[in-house]
Structure 1
Amino acid sequence: MMLQFRNIAGKRAAALFMLLPLGACAMQPRSPVTPAATGTAASTGFLVVGDTGYVSATPGKSGLMPVAQAMHQYCSTADCRFGLMVGDNIYENGAAGDAGDAELFRTRFTEPFGPLASLGRDFRIYVALGNHDWHSSRAGALAQADFLERNPPMHMNGLFYSVQPPGLGGQVEIFVVDTEMLLAPLSLPDMKSSADGVMVPTGKQKQGGGTNALPATEAEHGQLKWLERALAASKAKWKIVMGHHPLWQSRADSKYAQSIALRELMLPMLCRHADAYFAGHQHTMELQGDSCTGKAADGTARVLPNIVSGAGAKARPIDLPFQTWQQKRWPQLDQLWADGGSWGFSHVTLAGDRMVVRMLAVGKDGATTEAFRHEFINRPG
């Protein structure tokens, strides 16, 4: 089955990828949390959290404060040089660009994440916008970006940007993309899941992203060209790309078509240049590998990690029949682990040529457990 993804202007997208299979899915039971070791000159640790923008007056319904506090506590014994916040920072409709934004910024950023500034003078949380951050208006999205640019420890430098965290000698570079803006011009097939998890087109089309996020400037229209050039020019050992929408995810809903479209837009350049991709959007915790097409000089597969850390305030269950079907449908996918049963965040350690990803679950009592751990090797090139 070949799905057609077309630009609203009528431009046809590329054919879908069919690459080589990786190993079987690996699962690991939860265990009491063992924090990553404190940093040394040869290692760097950082946090990843997403979809934190949901708050509720009902106790125990939102994970925002428990997760933010758990992150702070975790970093009391683990190396945390910086953080990534992968979008949907303000539910339901983002900022509005008016006086009411002050309360939104206080409850979503300053109150929960301000205490992380105590981790160090240079500690920053590098932020991307998600689809909900665009819901109100373009003015609202820009107001949020402006606030984050001016209020440490949060950090934005435009809607898409690159940054080298200080104190790391240029060994790590982060590339933040606005995936809602990339998807907004596209028309995607509406799909539904059968009982056995198979995704079937309904015959209808849906806009890939919100109208407010449509590119409005020459630079915004050229976001993908910027990313390709910036990745190719980077001298960093670790090139980390982050956006809101994932390349892969484990729920049978409209996000499936978005993930296919995003892979068509971004995967070739990520496979050429990047070392990992971090996202949210689904309120799950997931870890996948994409085999790409090339191999390193020693013959090993150039696996591209796809990390979904979208359970910062809500949790949604995994669709197991869909997950099983997706693994068979897309042989390049290695579904390493996924969970939708709890809030959570991720911690990543970069040491030499190795990247260790820890998926950390946060209970309603604030207790943190290590749900899964996996090690990747730096991707040459």
Structure 2
Amino acid sequence: MAMIKSPVVLLVVYMTAMVAVVVAELQSFDHAVKSDGSLSFLVVGDWGRRGLYNQSNVAYQMGKVGEKMDVDFIVSTGDNFYDNGLIDVDDPAFYESFTNIYTAPSLQKQWYSVLGNHDYRGNALAQLSPALIQKDNKWFCLRSFILHAGNTEIFFVDTTPFQDKYFTETEHNYDWRGVLPRENYIADLLKDVEIALKASSAKWKIFVGHHTIFSASHHGNTQELVDQLLPILEENEVNLYINGHDHCLQHISSSDSKLQFLTSGGGSKAWRGDTNSWNPKEMKFYYDGQGFMACNVTNDKIQLAFYDIFGNVLHTWSVSEYTHSSS
């Protein structure tokens, strides 16, 4: 379990075995790196389907790659439980889609998760509750927070409230407790992110959110993030933006900055053939099947690899202070 790095003021409200936590600023946590200063982790998104749609096969390969890499933790890009999040902290889906699926020894590390739009369709506070940590201590989920790991900072950002359509559609109900008034929530989050980035001295800066910024798949670009979040990331020289939401594996480069856009949303159900055209100079990789991403970070390099459900390496990419390469 990561340790809180800096104290923050918390207001805790108890509601029938549910704990709602209102945080005055982004919480920061430390995660230890290896003795040589390196860091490795896996990224999976859009997974929680009780093992169906190849979720179990993805989990199996994650376990093998995780053991080989000796991963330090796992990142979830959201939509953790389909179709409508968790009912409450006692929902059996937590065990059936998480604990009973990711059973490999190498995956018994800390999981750092954000909420996706499907998670907000259920009881969003359930996934944020400490009660789930008591059920499975590798689970960790907050709306937004910062993870410090050696020379790397990973910013986990709650992207669902940014999308206008979730506040106007009538097909689904969303749990907006702790988010409303929305305008204040987004303004405060963007301010806290910008302050934290400007204060950061990390060599590598990585962002994790559920929603795409850029994508050639079903959902496409998230214009609200393009307009509001992207300028902050580019101004502060963020290296990677990692997301789920689109059920594919994808790598898009930026023509305007060093920022790379990485989709790891292939944790279970994939969308075959649901692809839109994209500038081939920016589209480094696209795969419309299930799989996950692996990341290794050293003092002078980030290395990425995308895997399918058979353990095949589909795409690799690396960046150092001076060079970019991909294959």
- TM-score between both structures, scaled by the size of structure 1: 0.67
Equivalent residue number for residue 278 of structure 1: 242
Of structures 1 and 2, the larger Rg is shown by: 1
The one-letter code sitting in structure 1 at the alignment partner of 2:320 is I
Count how many residue pairs are aligned between Structure 1 and Structure 2: 282
The one-letter code sitting in structure 2 at the alignment partner of 1:243 is G
Deviations 1:194-229 (A, max 9, x none): xxxxxxxxxxx979x975348226556511111111
Deviations 1:36-78 (A, max 9, x none): xxx761432110100001236xxxx522221112111112221
Is contact 2:162–2:224 with CA below 8 Å preserved after alignment? no
Equivalent residue number for residue 336 of structure 1: 284
Q: For residue 149 of structure 1, report the CA deviation from its aligned partner.
A: 5.0
Instruction: Tell me the secondary structure at the aligned position of residue 226 of structure 1.
Output: helix
Equivalent residue number for residue 114 of structure 2: 128
The one-letter code sitting in structure 1 at the alignment partner of 2:255 is S
The one-letter code sitting in structure 2 at the alignment partner of 1:303 is K
- TM-score between both structures, scaled by the size of structure 2: 0.77
Instruction: Tell me the secondary structure at the aligned position of residue 242 of structure 1.
Output: strand
The one-letter code sitting in structure 2 at the alignment partner of 1:227 is V
In the aligned structure 1, how far is the partner of 2:132 from the partner of 2:252?
30
In the aligned structure 1, how far is the partner of 2:155 from the partner of 2:173?
22
The one-letter code sitting in structure 2 at the alignment partner of 1:285 is L
Structure 2 unaligned blocks of 5 or more: 1-33, 323-327
Deviations 1:222-246 (A, max 9, x none): 1111111122212222221101011
Is contact 1:286–1:309 with CA below 8 Å preserved after alignment? yes
Of 173, 190, 204, which residue of structure 1 is paired with 2:153?
173
Matched, 1:371 2:326: no
Matched, 1:231 2:197: yes
In the aligned structure 2, how far is the partner of 1:272 from the partner of 1:142?
33
Q: Does 1 or 2 have the higher relative contact order (CA < 8 Å, sep 6+)?
A: 1
Q: Equivalences for 1:1-381 in 2 at 5 Å?
A: 41-55=36-50, 61-97=52-88, 99=90, 101=91, 103-113=92-102, 115-116=104-105, 118=106, 123-136=109-122, 140-146=123-129, 147-150=131-134, 151-156=136-141, 158-165=142-149, 168=150, 171-184=151-164, 211-213=174-176, 215-216=179-180, 221-251=187-217, 253=218, 255-256=219-220, 259-273=222-236, 274-292=238-256, 302-320=257-275, 322-323=276-277, 326-327=278-279, 334-340=282-288, 342-362=289-309, 367-377=310-320
Instruction: Tell me the secondary structure at the aligned position of residue 260 of structure 2.
Output: strand
Structure 1 vs Structure 2 CA RMSD: 2.7
Change (3 A) 1:178 1:114: farther
Instruction: Tell me the secondary structure at the aligned position of residue 112 of structure 1.
Output: coil
Structure 1 unaligned blocks of 5 or more: 1-38, 188-204, 293-301
In the aligned structure 2, how far is the partner of 1:210 from the partner of 1:335?
35
In the aligned structure 1, how far is the partner of 2:103 from the partner of 2:197?
31
Percent identical pairs in the alignment equals 27
Is contact 1:50–1:87 with CA below 8 Å preserved after alignment? yes
Change (3 A) 1:378 1:149: farther
The one-letter code sitting in structure 2 at the alignment partner of 1:94 is G
